[in-house]
Structure 1
Amino acid sequence: MSGDRLVSGSRVAVVGGGIAGAGLAASLMFNGRARGVSLDVRVYAQGEPDSVPPPVVLTPECRSRLAALGCRVPLDWRVHELRGVEVIAEGRRELLPAPAGGLWVVDNWPHGPGGMSVVREALTTAATAQGARFISRRVDRVEHQPPSPDAPAPVRNSGPLVVRAQGSGERFHAVALATGTGSSLAESFFPDFQPAPTVAAVHARVRQSASRLSLAPLARLWLSPLPTIDGLFLLPSAHSVYVLAFGPLVTPADLCQALMMAARDGLLEEGFELSALETTRLPFGPGRTLVAPGQLAVGPAAVGHPLQIGLSETLATCSRAAVGLLDGGLSTAALERRYVRNGLSEMMEDAAAGARSVAWLRRAGRRAPEAFLAARKRGAVGGVYSGGVLGLAAPTPLALLASARWAGLREVVGSWLRTTVEPVPTAMPSLEPDLYYVVDDDPDAREAMTQLLESTGATVVAFADELALFCAVARRPPTAILLDVVLHWVDGLRLCEGLKKHPLTRNTRVLVMSGLDRPHVRQGALDAGAEAFLPKPVEPRQLMQALLGEGLDAPRPALRPADVSAGLEPDRYAAS
């Protein structure tokens, strides 16, 4: 070692084999060679495969940064190119055109890996070609244990940091955390480590019935479609749409309701199908304590905000981290100065402004799209490493924050002067009086209930989970929904409450079923808006009486009291 600098032979561990981890490994090898320093870089490629394979939007800056890291950017990545980003809020829309170089959507799903996997593999190949090694192990913690003076020379020269990974331990001179927002290791990385704050999010893949999307090549940001959703991204690729909803209280049920509204408003094609859904976290500002002797965090674990599209900020942190480690990686003061203050200060300021903009855009309501245009007219005024929002050169996060704050204040004052009227859906599908939906994750109970209802002449569609239910309700509202309490993504009581709050289904009768016949469950169902609670196994006579809806304003179903005695004589039907 030479003072606080890394020299040839220094060992560096990168925790996380995603885009940030592979990008940092490639940047370390490239910058080390440029300084005549040969590093031993090991990447711990931990983590499970993506349940929802995200695409990647490559801005012109992203493509330049990838090329600088030795990553080949083939033309066949240009499967789908966006014309721009449309911002939507309360029926108002504004289009922000794509930059001159275009926004490429890299994605092979469902016929191949998602764009994130494609770019990650390309960066991994580039880093491996320069000498980095990738290890498939999950890191448990990082310990600071300087070797004793009596230790053998190889141990004394192998560094003071020990990476514990699935029972094994190896020594390094420096360790970088690049696990994104999914696994920050908390204080298992170093004491008082404070990564970027995060916000809850749900993302999904929506498949279209057509072989190729006929929608305009636009990414869309729908602001505050529901009280629990701050923003909903709709990102089209060649054969699917990637959907991302974020907000402190967002749930999978909220995302499904937003998709119903998107289909109603023509933002999704008819016949869409949810193929995958998963909860996740998004960075929501800058981290506060990112460095320790020989240790730092990069990528979304360090800095970011939900209005970013693309990889520019993540790749920029990799370049800054590599320079900081090489120039002063063993000193906290040097890392703080070179990596945080000199390298990330502008990005951290942007991340803080981007996160604060989200709250003001919610307050701005219908004025939010205009706030983007007003901020864009201010120009792309930023520092060397400062970028725009939504993958665009402008507006910058600071300009957007100023415009969103002004729009939010105007909307708050304006709301005092007008009466709030709830918007009515422009195109509400007609009710089908003979159609019933059954939602139960038990196949036997689903089949039994379907047979019971079909024997009365009704049309029945059964669903194994709530995702398919939301897709169907958007196109064919039923007379009634029979809903089990225990479901895959969200409990039936929460789902019932959401259905009753949504304009498309608030007048649809919901009957909640459960094998747990307890007063608090029954009362919870009624409090959620259900017309009836049915203990399981369900009695046919009780079901028929509930479906007849006596005393309800909803249309009467096709079922008749005479049907109860026509071949439905087992006293109890439907088990579980």
Structure 2
Amino acid sequence: MMQGNRLVSGSRVAIVGGGIAGAGLAASLLFNGRARGLTLDVRVYSGGTSERTAPPVVLTPECRSRLAALGCRIPTEWRSHELRGVEVIAEGRREVLATAAGGLWVVDGWPHGEGGLAQVRDVLATAASAQGARFVERHVERVERQAPAPDAPASVRGAGPLVVRAQGSGERYHAVALAAGAGPLMGDAFFKGFRPAPTVAAVQARLRHASPRLELAPLARLWIAPLPTVDGLFLLPAAGSVYALAFGPAVTPADLCQALMMAARDGLVEEGFELAALETTRLPYGPGRTLVAPGQVVVGPAAFGHPLQVGLSETLASCSRAAVALLDGGMEAAVLERRYVREGLGELMEDAAAGARAVTWLRRAGKRAPEAFVAARGRRTSGAVFGGGVLGMSTPTPMALLGAARWAGLREMFGSWLRTTMEPVPTVVPELEPDLYYVVDDDPDAREALTALLESTGAKVVAFADELALFCAVARRPPTAILLDVVLHWVDGLRLAEGLKQHPLTRNTRVVVMSGLNRPHVRQRALDAGAEAFLPKPVDPERLLRILTGRVPDAPVAEAAAPSSESVHDVGSDRYAS
């Protein structure tokens, strides 16, 4: 089934990954093969984990053109929500980058249907299936290069030199493509020396409004460096929710929650939202180094990309160029490297490198970062004939943004030497509300008992079953104290306590940590995080009230919280204990 180094009619091609890149490559291979009079056997291994947050997707004009060229029918309802621009924010400075009317479409059906990414994938998969692609719900473990035995049947000898191992089965192919996204990849299990795109940690979430009415702003937002551990926060209005994405080398779910608390404070998201989904993910952060082997290519975010890349144009472009390269001479590594990487992806990979470096300089630029985007829109750069701009717009290009961000970063660094270093403080910090207590515990009995105990003193108490709701409330009504369980659903309670005590909005709020894990190392971690006290469960009510109010009620409160024979450890007893 081979003619020299080229695929011919009957050649078998496997694609590992059934997302946008996998379905796009299948459609492109079959479309280009048919244009050359070839009939290919294309199978897509689409097994694997799916993202719970069901991200939306932004379709640029180029995205829509590429989808149409692959035979995708774009539903008319996809243009029901259009973005008028992207607002860039940094240290109180804001700049709006306007887009042309009809330029950016936000596609999304969540929570009543699929997220936009899944919707576009389904349209692409339908187009690929109509041309003959077959989707297999199996997870691939490795790809082996294994020549058939000389005495093997003719059907085996002609099936190809590459064996795809998937859940105990093995099938032979002439070519294999990896389209598994930017998450955990196969490494050398794909081919020896495979070096994919570097990645950066990210956390994504869905914000759903408590009321049935949600006013969707026509602006997406990018907040540069809202926290030391967060390089950027995207807020993308979707059909009935807001999609949030925070990225940075060490970003955690607690960091995203902290950033959303600040966004609620500054009016970037509506009051009364709830976080309906949250999970960690990975984003591409530059170009890969070794992306081809004889008969094997890598496409999509596994090959290149950067966090400011909004839309699917670059992913779809890599699919079309990989298809052409495989058809032209994909069985020879040198030909594949030249046709696919150097000639096909050269400009896109340069853009990926520039976009990743621009993120670093935007953080250094501080309050000048929004101005850098505006300045970059007016700059002309050579190259990038096929590459797009950042944030889903045609301009600025990643190269132009890198130059403007570097200049803004240098100016900010020089300026910082001439002024006193001061920690940025929010323009408006709500005052602590006296006698208001927040209780965060996933145990309903514990929440009810602690609420009854505190209300018996005349205090106002708000109890939360989910710690994420705490961030929504504390941004508007900082309490006198927060009673925080260690074991929570989304975020480690000790990490949450540390974040609360470090942030200007909540650093003066008293935090008391509670846990059934009465271990010295847990207690010490709580105190190191800034907690005023560590209380083992079940909580001793008299000790708790003494810590919070400095007094104990005359009447017994045995029904409010079960007393403990173990001592309560507060700051005075723990910090100086031997």
- TM-score bracket, normalised by the shorter chain, equals over 0.9
In the aligned structure 1, how far is the partner of 2:37 from the partner of 2:404? Answer: 47
Partner of 1:280: 281
Partner of 2:572: none
In the aligned structure 2, how far is the partner of 1:151 from the partner of 1:433? Answer: 82
Quick check: 1:470 aligned with 2:471?
yes
TM-score (norm 2): 0.95
Partner of 2:327: 326
In the aligned structure 2, how far is the partner of 1:467 from the partner of 1:439? Answer: 10
Kindly state the Cα deviation for residue 208 of structure 1 after the two structures are TM-superposed: 2.0
Partner SS state of residue 105, structure 2: strand
Q: 1:565 aligns with which of 531, 551, 556?
A: 556
In the aligned structure 1, how far is the partner of 2:181 from the partner of 2:392? Answer: 19
Quick check: 1:115 aligned with 2:106?
no
Partner of 1:178: 179
In the aligned structure 2, how far is the partner of 1:425 from the partner of 1:2? Answer: 67
Judge conservation of contact 2:6–2:326 (CA < 8 Å) in 1. yes
Give deviations 1:95-123, integer Å, cap 9, x for gaps: 11114541000011112111001100000
In the aligned structure 1, how far is the partner of 2:216 from the partner of 2:137? Answer: 40
Kindly state the Cα deviation for residue 527 of structure 1 after the two structures are TM-superposed: 1.4
Kindly state the Cα deviation for residue 573 of structure 1 after the two structures are TM-superposed: 6.8
Judge conservation of contact 1:456–1:563 (CA < 8 Å) in 2. no
Quick check: 1:436 aligned with 2:427?
no
Kindly state the Cα deviation for residue 34 of structure 1 after the two structures are TM-superposed: 0.5
Partner of 1:382: 383
Quick check: 1:4 aligned with 2:11?
no
Amino acid at match of 2:553: A
Partner of 1:259: 260
Partner SS state of residue 475, structure 2: helix
Kindly state the Cα deviation for residue 386 of structure 1 after the two structures are TM-superposed: 1.5
Partner SS state of residue 345, structure 2: helix
Moved more, 564-573 or 89-98: 564-573
Give deviations 1:527-558, integer Å, cap 9, x for gaps: 1111111111111111111111x5xxxxxxxx
Partner SS state of residue 475, structure 1: coil
Kindly state the Cα deviation for residue 574 of structure 1 after the two structures are TM-superposed: 12
Kindly state the Cα deviation for residue 526 of structure 1 after the two structures are TM-superposed: 1.5
In the aligned structure 2, how far is the partner of 1:46 from the partner of 1:198? Answer: 22
Kindly state the Cα deviation for residue 212 of structure 1 after the two structures are TM-superposed: 4.3
Partner of 2:569: none
Partner of 2:573: none
Partner of 1:62: 63
Partner of 1:308: 309
Amino acid at match of 1:487: L
Judge conservation of contact 2:450–2:560 (CA < 8 Å) in 1. no
Moved more, 159-168 or 427-436: 427-436
Partner SS state of residue 561, structure 1: coil
Amino acid at match of 2:402: L
Judge conservation of contact 1:56–1:107 (CA < 8 Å) in 2. yes
Give deviations 1:442-462, integer Å, cap 9, x for gaps: 333333323333333333222
Kindly state the Cα deviation for residue 209 of structure 1 after the two structures are TM-superposed: 3.6
In the aligned structure 2, how far is the partner of 1:132 from the partner of 1:99? Answer: 36
Moved more, 310-319 or 105-114: 105-114
In the aligned structure 1, how far is the partner of 2:565 from the partner of 2:198? Answer: 47
Kindly state the Cα deviation for residue 436 of structure 1 after the two structures are TM-superposed: 1.6
Amino acid at match of 1:258: A
Kindly state the Cα deviation for residue 491 of structure 1 after the two structures are TM-superposed: 2.0
Amino acid at match of 2:507: R
Partner SS state of residue 190, structure 1: coil
Q: Following superposition of structure 1 onto structure 2, how do residues 441-452 of structure 1 map, counting pairs within 5 Å?
A: 441-452=442-453
For the structure 1 residues 156 and 450, does the alpha-carbon distance in structure 2 shift closer, same or farther, using more than 3 Å as the test? same
Judge conservation of contact 2:449–2:561 (CA < 8 Å) in 1. no
Gaps of at least 5 residues in structure 1 are: 551-559
Partner SS state of residue 7, structure 2: coil
Amino acid at match of 1:542: R
In the aligned structure 1, how far is the partner of 2:565 from the partner of 2:28? Answer: 61
Moved more, 14-23 or 561-570: 561-570
Amino acid at match of 1:250: V
Gaps of at least 5 residues in structure 2 are: 567-578
Partner of 1:216: 217
Partner of 2:462: 461
Judge conservation of contact 2:485–2:513 (CA < 8 Å) in 1. yes
In the aligned structure 1, how far is the partner of 2:403 from the partner of 2:134? Answer: 45
Amino acid at match of 1:546: I
Partner of 1:421: 422
Moved more, 261-270 or 489-498: 489-498
For the structure 1 residues 59 and 570, does the alpha-carbon distance in structure 2 shift closer, same or farther, using more than 3 Å as the test? closer
In the aligned structure 2, how far is the partner of 1:52 from the partner of 1:435? Answer: 33
TM-score (norm 1): 0.95
In the aligned structure 2, how far is the partner of 1:271 from the partner of 1:414? Answer: 39
Give deviations 1:334-393, integer Å, cap 9, x for gaps: 110110001001011000010011110000001111111111101465333221111111
Partner of 2:206: 205
Quick check: 1:292 aligned with 2:300?
no
Q: Following superposition of structure 1 onto structure 2, how do residues 491-570 of structure 1 map, counting pairs within 5 Å?
A: 491-548=492-549, 561-562=552-553, 565=556
Give deviations 1:150-195, integer Å, cap 9, x for gaps: 1110000100101111111110000000010123111111111111
Moved more, 389-398 or 484-493: 484-493
In the aligned structure 1, how far is the partner of 2:345 from the partner of 2:560? Answer: 73
In the aligned structure 2, how far is the partner of 1:99 from the partner of 1:262? Answer: 27
Partner of 1:87: 88
Kindly state the Cα deviation for residue 567 of structure 1 after the two structures are TM-superposed: 6.0
Q: Following superposition of structure 1 onto structure 2, how do residues 32-43 of structure 1 map, counting pairs within 5 Å?
A: 32-43=33-44
